Structure 1
């Protein structure tokens, strides 16, 4: 900020801060827009009170106001980051002596619940591929395997023939951090995997490969390719719930817990090193129980 700048209004201070971000720190247009939005909301709350006379009590009142509005902690955390950076700038420029944000802590954003599918939606998705064609048979086997085992998509597309043991009905997985685990196969997954290996895989392989699920080119499939296949079948099955590459992994864990599976068993099958990572699925299962109770209990 140059000495000749004469800043009076809140708008002047906002512009000076954002100009500095753009000209000297080269932040992106999206980041500038986000800072502008967060700071404009704060100014609106202040109701014309000068930004440079804001106290820690004003900040705490603003955060309480956001809670009253039901805004998400993640959004509030971003707003606090913008305000901290804003006031740090004017401390450096010697406009104020101390930032009102000094003792303001970031709220705990919490862990967002994973998006999952109902059992009926999973059934429709699994039945969408045309198993009369090699590619459809491959996709059917992949979807059944994903739902039966809870594998990560990267683990699924990277599966090699030596990792599959149909006689013992298990798949040997090397997951994150090269941690190894054995995951049992269900009857449906075993059946379709066997069908694909016997009837479809040979027609798809164009070069020597030990990948279980070759791509159209006959080599290993990418995570992105399989994700596009999932979206394709979701459209065919009229599944309207939000999807992610891990949707069937989330459904695997949630449906197991809904049917009474032990949390530590689910943890082992998912390959989570920390039980707290798996516990997020108990929240999803509990939400399902609340929903059923609310819908069917006469006193709900």
Structure 2
């Protein structure tokens, strides 16, 4: 049987026997017609001569694209979707006796590219910290709170959700440490740097009393005296980045990622960073080592006499 005829049989099967939705059918038809054109370009019209290697090469072709023919490379997610249609087609062909084997059975979608955490250069982090709170005549309860919040996030690598969940009693300014409650309620004791302690002390003495309206154990308060929300804390970071002129996109994890990356750049052991971040597995933390490899390569390329 020809590939085209088999494709049509499969599409009819999806529509009639499987009751596939119109959008699903349209997607499968588009992907399988693309597969059919690929096989035709290789001189393959007989379904029984298609091999596993043909299917694998099809995926490679999708990822590579053909700029001259106006066919852009597909993203991994689109390649994976096309493979679902192709695998379903070959599974159907084998089950119906159109082929003796399912040649696509062992073909797996490409692994998505690993998304590296976004961290900022130290100078950008320092600019954000400076821009997060005013001083002198411009100092207010809110600016003191915002500076303390930003300093704390970067100093101990806390998640924003962990920072806004802090109570006053969780901070030990004498021992320069904080108790953070991570995922699953797991607690960890994390050291805090001198600048963060100074910012928190300033907020506790000159800022928080002006915000609190009733008893509230929360460390970071909003203007109504309630606990600061995660969304509001994120906005504090975004506003500080804008005032600092930092063009890079910032997220609730920006300072946390920067904390981890800068520690590793400074020579910290990955297992120590794991404990500070509260990761259950060191594998989660090791993604940051991929970030620092980029820094190592840049230094090598500029400093080693035989690097070029």
Is the shorter-chain TM-score for this pair beyond 0.5, marking a shared fold? Answer: yes
Q: How far did residue 284 of structure 1 move? A: 0.6
Comparing 248-257 with 129-138, which one deviates more in the overlay? 129-138
Cα deviation digits, residues 129-168 of structure 1 (max 9, x gap): 2331222221111111010100111111111112111111
Judging changes above 3 Å, is the alpha-carbon distance between structure 1 residues 257 and 8 closer, same or farther for their aligned structure 2 residues?
A: closer
Judging changes above 3 Å, is the alpha-carbon distance between structure 1 residues 59 and 191 closer, same or farther for their aligned structure 2 residues?
A: same
2:206 corresponds in structure 1 to 199
Q: How far did residue 173 of structure 1 move? A: 1.4
Cα deviation digits, residues 235-257 of structure 1 (max 9, x gap): 22221223221111110000011
1:4 corresponds in structure 2 to none
Comparing 78-87 with 148-157, which one deviates more in the overlay? 78-87
Judging changes above 3 Å, is the alpha-carbon distance between structure 1 residues 47 and 246 closer, same or farther for their aligned structure 2 residues?
A: farther
Q: How does 1:1-300 map to 2 (within 5 A)?
A: 24=19, 42-43=35-36, 45-47=38-40, 54-66=50-62, 76-88=79-91, 99-109=102-112, 111-131=114-134, 132-295=139-302, 297=304, 299=306, 300=308
Comparing 7-16 with 116-125, which one deviates more in the overlay? 7-16
**TM-score scaled by length of structure 2:** 0.78
Judging changes above 3 Å, is the alpha-carbon distance between structure 1 residues 142 and 18 closer, same or farther for their aligned structure 2 residues?
A: farther
Judging changes above 3 Å, is the alpha-carbon distance between structure 1 residues 242 and 291 closer, same or farther for their aligned structure 2 residues?
A: farther
Cα deviation digits, residues 169-211 of structure 1 (max 9, x gap): 0001121222221100001110101111111112222332111
Aligned length: 291
Judging changes above 3 Å, is the alpha-carbon distance between structure 1 residues 296 and 176 closer, same or farther for their aligned structure 2 residues?
A: same
SS of 2:233's equivalent in the other structure is helix
**TM-score scaled by length of structure 1:** 0.80
Q: Give the whole-Å Cα distance in 2 for the aligned partners of 1:40 and 1:280.
A: 39
Whether the 8 Å CA contact 1:163–1:172 is kept in 2: the answer is: yes
Whether the 8 Å CA contact 1:10–1:43 is kept in 2: the answer is: no
Cα deviation digits, residues 26-74 of structure 1 (max 9, x gap): 59x6x88876775565455334656966542211112333565687656
Structure 2, unaligned stretches of length 5 or more? Answer: 66-72
Q: How far did residue 267 of structure 1 move? A: 1.1
Work out which of the two has the higher radius of gyration on C-alpha atoms and give 1 or 2: 2
Q: Give the whole-Å Cα distance in 1 for the aligned partners of 2:97 and 2:191.
A: 65
- RMSD value over aligned CA atoms? 3.5
